[in-house]
Amino acid sequence: MTFFEVEDILGFTLPKSAYEHEAWWDKSDSHTQSFAWKNAHFFAKPNLKEKKVEFVKHIED
């Protein structure tokens, strides 16, 4: 999905760092947004050049 689609769902603009730094999308408990999708058993695979992100379901063993 595009970053614009994410913004449309959320109802607000993503911060500049989401467009510039893959770390914003990283699986870190110190970032509220990544904690949320990690808690839902997803991880994000961003493509900053294309301004897209893929949310992938994490399958636990």
Helix (H, G, I), strand (E, B) or coil at 32: helix
- Whether the per-residue pLDDT at 28 is higher than 80: the answer is no
User: Confidence band (pLDDT; 50, 70, 90) for 35?
Assistant: confident
pLDDT at 48: 98
Query: Do residues 54 and 44 make contact, with C-beta atoms less than 8 angstroms apart?
Result: yes
Element (H, E) at 33: helix 32-39
Q: Mean pLDDT over all residues of the chain?
A: 90
- Give the start-to-end residue ranges of the domains of the chain: 3-57
- Whether the per-residue pLDDT at 59 is higher than 90: the answer is no
Q: Which residues contact residue 18 at a Cβ distance below 8 angstroms, ignoring those fewer than 6 apart?
A: 3, 24, 25
- Whether the per-residue pLDDT at 61 is higher than 70: the answer is no
Q: How many CB atoms lie within 10 A of CB 44?
A: 19
Whole-prediction pTM value?
Answer: 0.81
